[in-house]
Amino acid sequence: MPGPGPPGADILRPRHVLAEDSLRAFVTALPKAELHVHLEGSIPPELALRLAARHGVRLPGDEAGAQGVREAFRFVDFGRFIRVYLALSRCLQTVDDLRDVVVALAQRLRAQGVVHAEVTFTPMTHAVRGVSEEVIMEGLMQGRELAATIGVSILYVLDIVRSYADQAEPTLGFALRLRQRLAGGVAGLGLAGPEGGDHPLGPMVDVFARARAAGLRSLPHAGEFLGASSVRAAIDRLGADRIGHGVRAIEEPSLIEELARRQIPLEVCPSSNVALGVFPDLARHPLPQLIAAGVAVSLATDDPALFGVDLVDEYLRCASQFGWSVDRLRALAQASLRHASVDEDTRRSWLAAAAAVPDPE
Ligand SMILES: [Zn+2]
């Protein structure tokens, strides 16, 4: 609570609040793309509890209701993050479950002015639990159709977990069949999970090559828990078209130069990076240096329900921390549209709409 202010503070404070509100309204009005969001990590506690009750699944903290689940989402390390993530995954068992979480995500995105989302989903996590491919595909398809009626275009990124190399091939197969079923609707193949020596990229290289040959984009995570070498491997060995995170590329100036020269976009998720300890706080996040070096970046949330953040918050937090101008915010929204996996006519119309949003008062 703020203490009593100096004379005139009661006049100044409403002005300040108004400025914040008008900036939020501006960022919300900008058409934006959310290019890095995991479906399983987008399920808010209230919806997670409803799904868990449908199936008798226990969630961490559920004895204290939604607030308890929300508190269980405060991560102390990556291991705890994965445990919560897997508990949420166990709530997705039927067509209705999957449809409902896609629609709930689309509704929240629409309220933030997001016109397009590339939603990462890890099909094999669910398939190995016994959820059939038919159920998963039908749920994703119904969710996507309803999202379109809400005004959010969704493409799926089918994601492989690095530590399960045996799931790479089935994930590619799933991605290709889903694309056929949805007549498009799939942006590409993703790769997430622990980076590092225990989980070499070797088994993924051929799968990503065949994915690219089949017209899927290569959209791996890299440079989150390992440094620049992991980003370089994603580019050189997986042919990355865009990189999830990539922020630790900052550790190698020659790589930053290459990313800028080749304009390989990074999906930067500052709140996720701070929550998972990639950087100690937002002040020490390298986003300003990446932008200054000319690297193509967009802002994203990664797992908005788990990190208690939405995309508009992410823009506003960074604007406040890094002293961004209105022009910078608009340019970042436009960058997200430029980096999206959509046709040029669609992109042009969204960019024009973003250019037409008036500056805040
Ligand atoms: Zn991610």
- CB atoms < 10 A from the CB of 106, how many? 25
The answer to which of 28-42, 80-94, 136-150, 283-297 has the lowest mean pLDDT is: 80-94
Please give the pLDDT value at position 15: 45
pLDDT at 14: 46
Question: What is the domain range of residue 110?
Answer: 33-343
Distance of CA 38 to the CA centre of its chain: 6
- What Cα–Cα distance (Å) separates residue 128 from each residue in 122, 131, 171? 11, 7, 12
Residue 7 predicted with pLDDT over 80: no
DSSP string, 76-87: SSHHHHHHHHHH
> At residue 99, does pLDDT exceed 50?
yes
User: Is 20 among the domain residues?
Assistant: no
Task: Judge whether 167 lies within some domain.
Answer: yes
The count of other CB atoms within 10 Å of the CB of residue 66 is 17
Q: Which of 48-57, 117-126, 292-301 has the lowest mean pLDDT?
A: 48-57
| Domain-embedded: residue 170 | yes
What is the per-residue pLDDT for 17? 54
> Does pLDDT of 9 surpass 60?
no
Interval between CA 60 and ligand 1 midpoint (Å): 21
Q: Is residue 9 part of a domain?
A: no
Is the per-residue pLDDT at 136 higher than 60? yes
Q: What is the pLDDT of residues 212-224, one digit of tens each?
A: 999 999 999 999 9
Confidence of residue 5 (pLDDT cuts 50, 70, 90): very low
Q: 351 lies in a domain?
A: no
> Could you tell me what percent of the chain has a pLDDT over 90?
77
Query: What are 293-343's pLDDT values in tens digits?
Result: 999 999 999 999 888 899 999 999 999 999 999 999 999 999 999 999 999
Domain-located, residue 348: no
User: Would you say the C-alpha torsion 132, 168, 277, 231 has a positive or negative sign?
Assistant: negative
Check if the beta carbon of residue 247 is closer than 8 Å to that of residue 266: yes
Q: How many domains does the chain have?
A: 1
In a domain, 353, yes or no: no
Question: Whose CA is closest to 140, among 129, 127, 128?
Answer: 127
Please say if the pLDDT value at position 13 is more than 60.
Answer: no
Report how far ligand 1's centroid is from the alpha carbon of 355 (Å): 29
Per-residue pLDDT, 76: 59
Residue 149 clears pLDDT 60, i.e. is over it: yes
Q: Is 22 a domain residue?
A: no
More confident residue, 274 or 2: 274
Task: Tell whether the model's pLDDT for residue 75 goes beyond 90.
Answer: no
- Measured in Å, residue 37 CA sits from the centre of ligand 1 at 7
**Which neighbouring-strand residues pair with 190?**
159, 219
**Is the predicted pLDDT of residue 11 greater than 50, yes or no?**
no
- Between the CA of 221 and the centroid of ligand 1 the distance, in Å, is 7
Residue 8 C-alpha to ligand 1 middle, in angstroms?
A: 46
Q: Is the pLDDT of residue 250 over 60?
A: yes
Confidence of residue 1 (pLDDT cuts 50, 70, 90): very low
pLDDT surpasses 60 at 8: no
Cα-to-centroid distance, 306 and ligand 1 (Å): 12
Task: Tell me how far apart the alpha carbons of residues 53 and 44 are, in angstroms, rounded to a whole number.
Answer: 14
**Which CATH number characterizes residue 114's domain?**
3.20.20.140
Residues with catalytic roles? 224
**Does 247 or 73 have the greater pLDDT score?**
247
Residue 315 Cα to ligand 1 middle (Å) = 18
| 11 Cα–ligand 1 center, Å | 43
Q: How confident is the model at residue 12 (pLDDT cuts 50, 70, 90)?
A: very low
